[in-house]
Amino acid sequence: MQKLLFMSCMLGLSLRSFGADILPKDLSQGFNCKTEVQKELEKFFVGVSPDWERTADPSFDTQAFRTPTAKTGEWYELQITEKGIPKLFFYSSAKNFTSSWSQTCKVATTKMPGLGFFKLTGSDKSEIYGDADLAKLIAGKKTAMIYVWSPRMVYSVTEFPRMRALAEKRKMEFVPVLDPLVSIKEARAAMKKAGIDVKVKMTIAQREPSSVALYKRLNSVELYMRNGTLHFPTVFLTANGKVHSRRVIGVMTNDGMNESLDEMMGELK
C-alpha cells in the first residue's frame, strides 16, 4: 500500500513537472486559464518540452513567447495578457490557427491560410528561399552562413561581398536571402549603385549579379519567426543538422564575426 502511495505521489510530481515545462519558465505573472492552456499545449508537445523564447510583446500588458516545433517552418506563439485571455498561435506556410480562451476558460480555435510574404505573378521570375530550401540545407548537415539582407539597409548591401568572402574563407556555404518586402529590381539597383560585382559560382559557368540566383527572396516562416527580418543584415548559422538559436545582427568586423561564428560552431557540435 505504501509503495502504491509512493508511486502515485511520484507520478503526480512527474506530471506537475512535465506541465511546468510546457509553459515558458520566465513568465513574470500568473494568468487566466493557466491549467487549460497547459493541457492544450500538452497535446502538441508529447514527450518533449517546447523551447520558448521571449519575443516582442504586442502590448504593454502582454508577454509573448515563441517556440519552434520539430519540423522546419512550424512555430507556436503564446501570448499571455495580465487580466485578459491567453492566446496560442500556430504559424506555417501551409496553415495557421489561433486558439483563444473565454472568460470561462473554454477554448475556441480559428483556422486560417498559411503565412505568406508575397504573391508571385505569371511574369514574376523571382526565385524564393523557403522552408523546403532551409530544411534541405539542414538535412544535408551543411555548415552555412545565411545572410539576410535588404537594399533599404545600406550596410547590408556594402558588407555583402565581405561577408561572402569571410564565409568562403571558412569553407562555409554562403546563402544570401533577400528582404521579402522589396523587389529584385530594387535590389539590383542598390548593388549596382554600390559598385558591387559579385559573381554567383555555378557548376558550369559564373553568372553576374543580375541573375535571379543572387536575389532569392525570403519566403521562410522559420527565418521570419527567428526574427530574421527585424534588422538587416542578419546572419544565421547552420551546422551539424541544426540552425543556431542565436543570430548575428548588424555589421561586425571580421574578427568579431569570426569570434561569434566560432562560439556558435562550438555550441552546435
pLDDT by residue (tens digit) across 189-237? Answer: 999 999 887 665 544 444 444 345 688 999 999 999 999 999 999 999 9
- Helix or strand or coil: residue 35? helix
Grid coordinates in use for 253?
A: 568586423
Q: Which helix (H) or strand (E) holds 90?
A: strand 87-91
| pTM given for the model | 0.85
What is the overall mean pLDDT for the chain?
A: 86
* Residue 150 to residue 145: CA distance in whole angstroms: 16
- Render the burial of 211-241: b for 16+ CB within 10 Å, e for the rest: eeebbbbbbbbbbbbbbbbeebbbbbbbbee
User: Among candidates 264, 236, 240, which has minimal Cα distance to 141?
Assistant: 240
Q: What is the pLDDT along the chain (269 residues), one digit of tens a residue?
A: 444 444 434 434 444 344 457 999 888 667 999 999 999 999 999 888 999 999 989 999 999 999 999 999 999 999 999 888 999 999 999 999 999 999 999 999 999 999 989 877 666 666 889 999 999 999 999 999 999 999 999 999 999 999 999 999 999 999 999 999 998 889 999 999 998 876 655 444 444 443 456 889 999 999 999 999 999 999 999 999 999 999 999 999 999 999 999 999 999 98
Report the alpha-carbon distance of residue 180 to residue 115 in Å, rounded: 13
Task: Assess contact for 32 and 85: CB atoms under 8 A.
Answer: yes
- pLDDT tens for 116-125 read 898 776 666 6
How far apart are the C-alpha atoms of 116 and 174, rounded to whole Å?
Answer: 25
Radius of gyration of the chain (CA): 22
